[in-house]
Chain A
Amino acid sequence: MSDPGLDCRIGVYLCHCGSNIAATVDVMALAEYARTLPNVVVAREYKYMCSDPGQELICTDIADKKLNRIVVAACSPMLHEKTFHNVLSRAGLNPFYLQFVNIREHVSWVHQDHKAATAKAMDLVRAATRRVALHKSLEKRRVPINPNVLVVGGGIAGIHAALTMADAGKHVYLVEREPTIGGHMAMFDKTFPTLDCAACILTPKMTSVGSHPNISLWAYSEVTQVEGYVGNYKVTVCRKPRYIIEDLCVGCQECITACIYKEGKTPDAFNQGLSKRKPVYLPFPQAIPQKVLIDPDACIEFKTGKCKKTCVEACAERNAIDFKQQESIEEIDVGAIILATGFRTFDAQRNAYYGYGQYKNVYTSLEIERLINASGPTSGVLQMRDGRQPQSVGIVHCVGSRDQNTNRWCSKVCCMYSLKLAHLIKERTGAEVYNFYIDMRTPGKGYEEFYDRLLDEGVHFVRGRVAEISDWPAHPSEEGKLIIRAEDTLAGFVRRIPVDMVVLSVGLEPKADARDVARLFNMSCASEGWFLERHPKLAPVSTFTDGVFIAGACQGPKDIPETVAQAGAAAAEVMALIDAGEIELDPYTAYVLEEHCSGCKTCIPMCPYGAIAFDSVKSKASVNEILCKGCGTCVSACPSGSINQNFFEDEEVFAETEGVLLHA
């Protein structure tokens, strides 16, 4: 091990973090101990090291005491390592002469025994002083940033983010899996609490996306591969065949009218299966792009090859139909990525005691959204499957939310959308409406006022979780009705309420493939499956993968205002990133000690990025710094120790290990 020698002058800085650290770790004893360690010139403790005066303390010491190595023991390096890198730079010291020690998340917050916690903090600080003595000065790498951006998911989050950036002059690729953008919001008739028409605010934005010169809108497409790193991502997108040539289709829909199917036979997914569509279709009248598509599973030409192809005839010289269309693969280069893939609703069949799928008059909230929508399957008339209008309706809150058996979290929007549906149902049908809730959660601008309004409108509210929905009458008046059994926790007894129709306010869940998508983009999901943000408060739209941001309900349940706010935030983060023009990368790359390398080539297949090449003239391995991402996998494979990794040098890790184990 190389000897750091006498010229190593370490300063140790210990943070109280208010009482976050100091309440458990004896910071005074820690400072006193640090002063006894070899090469330590000064050790100080301070209430908040990250504050201006805290930082100033270090700067001054570096100048006055000629320090050349710094140890800061505080919170997680994820939070503040960068802050102190900057402090060192400001003081004229190479930033990598810093070792950052985590005595908050890893010590004071997880241990209760003060003595043991202090001892552990001592171990960690000792290890850091040993390690830092061996640090070398390193330079960050600078690479240019590609100014193009990819947005994945075209719900309101993706739409808003894409438009914001496109208006600022960035080129945006918007990739949407479904044949149209719009996401869930496109399905609603009205939105709470203002009851403004969803289409009136969404459709203009959708149209702008479709016509914006800076947006390449790729609907019916999916990202299949992502390579590269912040500033320079290479993304592969698979564009599924619509069997319609997008550039030629004018959206006249004459083919739909002409299709030999007079009536649709396929359940319409956009209408939650409440209506049927033809093999050639447009998901809904305002769909963007306004281009039809053909469903090969339903189309006779695909199934038998013997259709009269009346659609082709109708399309005539426009010639937009192409039964031979194949999926195409596009490759794009972007500097940053925003994921806005949204949520799925809870599958109500999982709560069998609510009878969804069993009783035909039990609906999900999303189905009701379609049933009351003027462009929905019934043109906005709230009709049950048997054609009757309901006289009484029960709305059950928290279906699949706040429940140990399904999802523990609050889905946040269900209270409010249940109120919205209660209002709309009452307005349209005059039915008696009963809302069954556990707690009413209306924290938002104008939300509580909306609740008050509903109370005035004569909607009934029953506080208590619904136990069961059945069609077993206990009395002639219950004949032919659905009976909701619930404990009324305000009145203190169990009630039976017979209704014609039940609406299950299903909760929000991560999309079924959220984990796969996270993997594709090299980020993580929280335990429930929502995408994990870098910091819940300070970096809610960033992820741990630089250059990848998240917005909207893919991060957790959110209403539209919050979704839009987050989408704007993500767009701003992306622009701050790409407008800088270049990016600094950590210098944790591998390098070859040529004099030791025997040219055995063990390292070469270890590197997942093909960053190691064999120099056949010298018979040595050589690392391409640009391609190396700094994992260090090659380093631990080299039998002769001839590859090393900056900042994670063997000696440094050995010194740290010995440091935590051996008392000095």
Chain B
Amino acid sequence: MPNGQEDATTVFEPRIVAFFCNWCTYLASDLAGSSRMKYPPNSCVIRLMCSGRVDPQFILNAFAHGADGVLIGGCHPGDCHYREGNYKALRRFRLLRRMLVKMGIEEERVRLEWISAAEADRVRDVIREMVGKIRELGPLKLDLVPKAEMTKAEELIHA
């Protein structure tokens, strides 16, 4: 984990899991790439065919395994490639967020955004904002987060 407790000077780097729909937000993030837009490297995209596939368990699972934030990206209302998957995503998202807040997970840590294939700047802005916000909030402190060991990955990078 980049936020080593052993070194108080390192800034906290939030980790965000981004579930993006294949037809809108994934394409927008591709466009951000081909337009060489810059945003912080704190999120990893998991591609799903539709935001409607985002099972609330995916979000819980992400938090349980150390995510500091979860971002869901889908097509704008009315633009869903599968007609209405995004509406269903929205319903589930609202319910789940209420529950998460009760569990002590701040509202800002889960975000659902409608981002069309053309809105690369929106991908950039949302990720920037989210990273900034979560940096302020600090790491998610859930007791269930398993302690990660110092890893091969870091050794290799620091080498």
| Chain A residues in the interface with B (C-beta under 8 A) | 26, 29, 32-33, 36, 76-78, 102, 104-107, 109-113, 115-120, 122-124, 126-127, 519, 522, 524-527, 532, 544-545, 588, 606, 608-609, 629-633, 635-637, 645, 648, 650, 653-654, 656-658, 660-664
Contact = CB atoms under 8 A, between A and B. Distances in A.
B92 interface: yes
A224 to B, nearest CB: 16
A631 B47 contact: no
Nearest to A529: B118
B62 interface: yes
Nearest to A78: B30
Contacts of A606: 52, 88
A633 B82 contact: yes
A636 B55 CA distance: 4
A656 B46 CA distance: 7
A608 B81 CA distance: 11
Interface in B74-131: 78-79, 81-85, 88, 92, 116-119, 124
Given A631-B50, A654-B58, A106 B153 contact: no
A526 B34 CA distance: 14
A524 B45 contact: no
Given A29-B156, A658-B61, A633 B118 contact: no
Given A127-B44, A648-B53, A663 B151 contact: yes
A133 to B, nearest CB: 16
Interface in B17-58: 17, 23-24, 26-27, 29-30, 32-34, 36-41, 44-50, 52-58
B117 A648 contact: no
B151 A632 contact: no
A118 B27 CA distance: 22
Given A105-B29, A109-B34, A663-B151, A636 B44 contact: no
27 contacts: A29-B157, A29-B159, A78-B26, A106-B30, A106-B45, A109-B36, A110-B33, A112-B38, A120-B41, A522-B81, A524-B23, A524-B24, A532-B117, A544-B27, A545-B81, A608-B83, A608-B85, A631-B53, A631-B81, A633-B50, A648-B53, A653-B58, A657-B17, A657-B46, A658-B65, A661-B15, A664-B151
Contacts of A33: 152-153, 156
Contacts of B78: 519
B140 to A, nearest CB: 11
B41 A119 contact: yes
Contact of A663 (B40, B118, B153): B153
Contacts of A629: 82
B66 A519 contact: no
Given A77-B47, A524-B117, A654-B58, A631 B152 contact: no
B18 to A, nearest CB: 9
Interface centre among A112, A629, A631, A662 (most CB of B within 10 A): A631
Given A648-B48, A662-B66, A654 B61 contact: yes
Interface residues of B, number: 62
Contacts of B32: 105, 110
B85 A653 contact: no
B65 A661 contact: yes
A629 B80 CA distance: 13
Contacts of B82: 608-609, 629, 631, 633
B38 A660 contact: no
Contacts of B134: none
A629 B82 CA distance: 8
Contacts of A26: 157
Contacts of B54: 636
Nearest to B32: A110
Contact of A109 (B15, B33, B58): B33
B71 interface: no
Given A653-B46, A662-B148, A107 B53 contact: no
Q: Which 6 A-B pairs have the closest CB atoms?
A: A105-B33, A632-B53, A633-B52, A663-B151, A636-B55, A631-B82
B26 to A, nearest CB: 8
A400 to B, nearest CB: 20
B66 A661 contact: yes
B30 A105 contact: yes
B149 interface: yes
A664 B1 CA distance: 11
A124 B55 contact: no
A632 B51 CA distance: 9
Contacts of B52: 606, 631-633, 636
